[in-house]
Amino acid sequence: QQQVKQSPQSLIVQKGGISIINCAYENTAFDYFPWYQQFPGKGPALLIAIRPDVSEKKEGRFTISFNKSAKQFSLHIMDSQPGDSATYFCAASTPQKLVFGQGTRLTINP
């Protein structure tokens, strides 16, 4: 129940394309859903986050879509750039615990 399932494991997108990463959860007690971005040799850094009372949140080229009834959420990266190449982790949290998905290695080809 504490798991967050993330797919795909790896993703290759052409520059300018749309990158989409999906996550699903089981525990309805989760009330905060962040996405973290991790570059090699660095720790994860918060990219964007959403609460379940909204269905979408957009920040620049990054958008989270949230489907509460399906218990799924996804990250969309519009106009993907080579600098977006990184590992992306979805996560879900209660006030007590933050659980990460398995990660998606995104490569943007120039």
Give residues in contact with other proteins (CB under 8 A): 4, 6, 32, 34, 41-46, 49, 89, 91, 93, 95-103
Cβ nearer to other proteins, comparing 14 with 39:
39
Cβ nearer to other proteins, comparing 63 with 104:
104
Query: Cis omega before residue 8 (within 30°)?
Result: yes
**Shortest Cβ 79–other proteins spacing (Å):** 26
Cα(91)–Cα(80) distance, integer angstroms: 21
**Shortest Cβ 6–other proteins spacing (Å):** 7
User: Looking at the DSSP assignment, which residues form a beta bridge with residue 98?
Assistant: 93
Closest Cα partner for 72 from 64, 80, 81, 83? Answer: 64
Cβ nearer to other proteins, comparing 18 with 54:
54
User: Looking at the DSSP assignment, which residues form a beta bridge with residue 58?
Assistant: 63
